[in-house]
Amino acid sequence: MKDILPGREGSPWRDPPVRFGSWKNVHRQLRPWCEGALSNGIFRYLAVDHDNAYMAIDSTIV
């Protein structure tokens, strides 16, 4: 998350960098992805990864 909202520790959602637009737009874009089938599919895939090759996941991988 720090890659998305860099800055001070505990950076508030309502203070994203200007290049992301308003916090409402950021929220509107991230919420469906986090709650949707895509993220569930990713987590299901990772759960069966027995050798833990993909244990770490961040925005540089996705």
Residue 39: predicted pLDDT: 72
Length in residues, the chain:
62
Q: Answer whether 3's CB lies under 8 Å from 10's CB.
A: no
Mean pLDDT of 24-50: 78
Give the predicted TM-score (pTM) of the model.
Answer: 0.41
pLDDT the model gives residue 21:
85
Spatial neighbors of 6 by CB under 8 A, at least 6 apart, are 17
* DSSP 8-state symbol, 4: T
Encode pLDDT of 4-30 as tens digits. Answer: 555 555 556 677 788 888 888 888 888
